[in-house]
Amino acid sequence: MQNFEPIFANDGYRPNVGIIICNREGQVFWARRINKDGWQFPQGGVSRNESLVDAMYRELHEETGLAQTQVRLVAHTKDWLRYELPQRLLRNQRRRAQGPGRKRVSFKGQKQVWFLLELTDDDSAVNLCAGPEAPEFDSWRWVDTHHAIDNIVDFKRGVYQKALSELEQFLPTS
């Protein structure tokens, strides 16, 4: 794995991992955010005490119920991919960071390393309620990569296009 240091640079971007799970036919895992209409790939923040790979496997399990033994790590992006958050989401992030014992966090967006995983188990291994906290997704399905790019929220579209253009060559073909 390439060294992506510094993970926690003071660059205004929150470190994050993105996860593209594919099946043997080359379709990708597409999940609907709970109580929302938005669909996306799993993703999540990196804690200070973990590597990018460790964060990816933690997020994989929290959001899909899949364990490292049920997937095969195929590839990852060679660089950080960045997106800026819309103002309305930045306000929500600041509000969420406030409270007893919580440090105020200020960032303008997220920087992500994207991982491509192949599901080696069958679809029944997916369990959206397996994580320690409330589930992030309430539904999922397999889609082609063009569907994902066409249906992601606008502010993430560029990152999805870059990640998929770099990783699509590693997708299985049926």
Q: What is the CATH number of the domain that holds 94?
A: 3.90.79.10
Total domains, the chain = 1
Whole-prediction pTM value? 0.89
The residue count of the chain comes to 174
* Residue 165 belongs to some domain of the structure: yes
Q: Which domain holds residue 152?
A: 13-170
Distance CA 111, CA 84 (A): 9
Q: Per residue in 39-86, pLDDT tens?
A: 999 999 999 889 999 999 999 999 999 999 999 999 999 999 999 998
* Residue 6 belongs to some domain of the structure: no
- DSSP structural state of residue 78: S
* Residue 7 belongs to some domain of the structure: no
* Residue 4 belongs to some domain of the structure: no
